Structure 1
Amino acid sequence: MSVRPRQLPLALETAIGYSIHDFVVTGPNSTAFKFLKSWPQWPSPLVVLAGREGSGKSHLAAIWAAQSFAVQFDKKRLDPAIEAASQGIPVLLEDMAPGCFDETELFHLINVVQQGQVNFPLGSLLMTSRLRPADWQIKLLDLASRLKAISLIEISPPDDALLNAIMAKLFADRQLVIESQLISYVLNRIERCPAKMIEFVKRVDRIALEQKSKITRQLVIDVLASMQMDTDPT
């Protein structure tokens, strides 16, 4: 009895497009999109973009960075960011959270950006976070005061139109074809957050490649079941 060998796909991540043309603008993210696109006509050179995981913060930040020629720096080591800001280079810090940065260094960075506006009017600082700055548990009072005055742009939770568009884009990024009815079927049976959607598409892609199969309703059902099994307590 012969056994047909499975095609084993390489464990490679498909790059998700982060260009402005890949971004889906709908109600929940339209305010943030318009604000970031308005750079350098910001009311303040200091901005925090807040939203839950998978809300599109990194995509929006990438769009702004491409527009402003900003440089992303490691939030755990801000000396290089301070040096860049002192030269008028726009700075991007991603995923700011309590305890992940040196408060004195961040305070210094903010001061450098603010004080450099005379000589470097394009100098800016954009920080992304799942939390508002008020929830960063800041101990340095001077920094807490600075953060209270910072421009805060929040991304609302995604609506149905955005979730459908995100799911369609995730499949398109992997050059996968799926019927729109199946996308609706999935969204009614999966946790409605982009992180889970990304995981779902990864699994569908892998299994479809292993089986050399189109994306069928049965394949979708099987992947949903496997994800449910992974989340159920043992």
Structure 2
Amino acid sequence: MARQLILDLPVRPARGRAAFFVAPANEIAVAQIEDWRGWPGGKLVLIGPEGSGKTHLVHVWAELTSAPVRYAADLAVADLPALAGTGAVAVEDAERIGGDRAAETALFHLHNLLAASGGALLVTARGPARDWGLGLPDLASRMQAAATAHLNPPDDALLAAVLVKLFADRQLAVKPDLIGYLVDRMERSFAAAAETVAAIDREALATGHRPGIRLARTVLDKTLPEAR
């Protein structure tokens, strides 16, 4: 069968609380997010690998608090008093500003403005603050002193739920046997789940076949020959 033209259509992830699957790997972090009024000093650093659900959980928190969500690298040009005036702010990808003096200074000032007004600050990163390469000592000390929540690598139940959600985000309804097949064979990480679902979607569009075990086997054989 001739391969079809693949249209690069946008994927719209579901980010509501009902779409976030709670499992042993993330239940403590979810509880910490929902108990945000009890954060020591009004701040929390949410740590997890790429694709672990940090952004989804940030949007859950943003719904709870009406908080704006900003990338750390963009804070240098943000209206910090206006942001702090909302009473709660989420800042994503803080590990990417290490060495960027303007962005570090902006995050430090935002932290202090929120602290002075009794506001709440949620910061996300892939690793702990000591590994961000921060050059501003005052910011480094405050981030390292913040309470942390961790999103851990997925167990079978969480990986299966993530796969179902990733397929659903692409408007693909798949059978349980495909999910079980993938869980048993793919790399056990959130990033690998996202890459695998995207590859299966591309292959399905290119061949005109519905996503299933046979198509998944083809995809896995291309990326991981031993996964059969």
Q: Normalising TM by the smaller chain, what interval?
A: 0.7 to 0.9
Q: Deviations over 1:34-64 (max 9, x none)?
A: 1111233433311110111111111100110
Q: What is the Cα deviation at residue 100 of structure 1?
A: 5.0
- Stretches of structure 2 that go unaligned for 5 or more consecutive residues are none
Distance in 1, matches of 2:60 and 2:155, equals 21
Q: 1:211 to 1:85 in 2, by over 3 A?
A: closer
> Could you give the per-residue CA deviations for residues 78-132 of structure 1, whole angstroms, max 9, x where no partner exists?
2525222442431111111133563322222211111111xxxxx2111100011
Candidates 192, 205, 222, aligned match of 2:218: 222
- CA–CA distance in structure 1, aligned partners of residues 84 and 6 of structure 2: 47
Q: What secondary structure is seen at the aligned counterpart in 1 of 2:135?
A: coil
Structure 1, gaps ≥5 residues long: 118-122, 230-234
TM norm structure 2: 0.87
Give the corresponding residue for 2:126.
Answer: 130
Are 1:148 and 2:123 an aligned pair? Answer: no
Amino acid at match of 1:92: A
One-letter amino acid of the structure 2 residue matched with residue 126 of structure 1? L
**Structure 1 match to 2:26:** 29
Cα deviations across residues 120-159 of structure 1 (Å, max 9, x unaligned)?
Answer: xxx2111100011122223322222222321111122111
TM-score normalised over the length of structure 1: 0.85
TM-superposed CA distance for 1:5, in Å, is 5.3
2:59 counterpart residue number = 62
Which residue of 2 is the match for residue 116 of structure 1?
Answer: 117
Distance 2:151 2:123 in 1: 13
Larger Rg: 1
Separation (CA, whole Å) in 2 of partners of 1:168 and 1:226: 22
The DSSP-based 3-state class of the residue aligned with 1:191 is coil
Match of 1:176 in 2: 172
Q: Is the 8 A contact 2:39 2:147 kept in 1?
A: no
Cα pair distance change 1:88/1:219, threshold 3 Å: closer
Could you tell me how far apart the structure 1 residues matched to 2:165 and 2:56 are? 13
Deviation at 1:6, TM superposition (A): 4.3
* Larger helix percent: 2
RMSD: 2.1
Change (3 A) 1:181 1:5: closer
Is the 8 Å Cα contact of residues 51 and 194 (structure 2) preserved in structure 1? no
Measure, in 2, the Cα distance between the counterparts of 1:16 and 1:193.
18
* Identity fraction in percent: 38
Q: Count matched residues.
A: 221
Q: Distance in 2 between the 1:218 and 1:5 partners?
A: 18
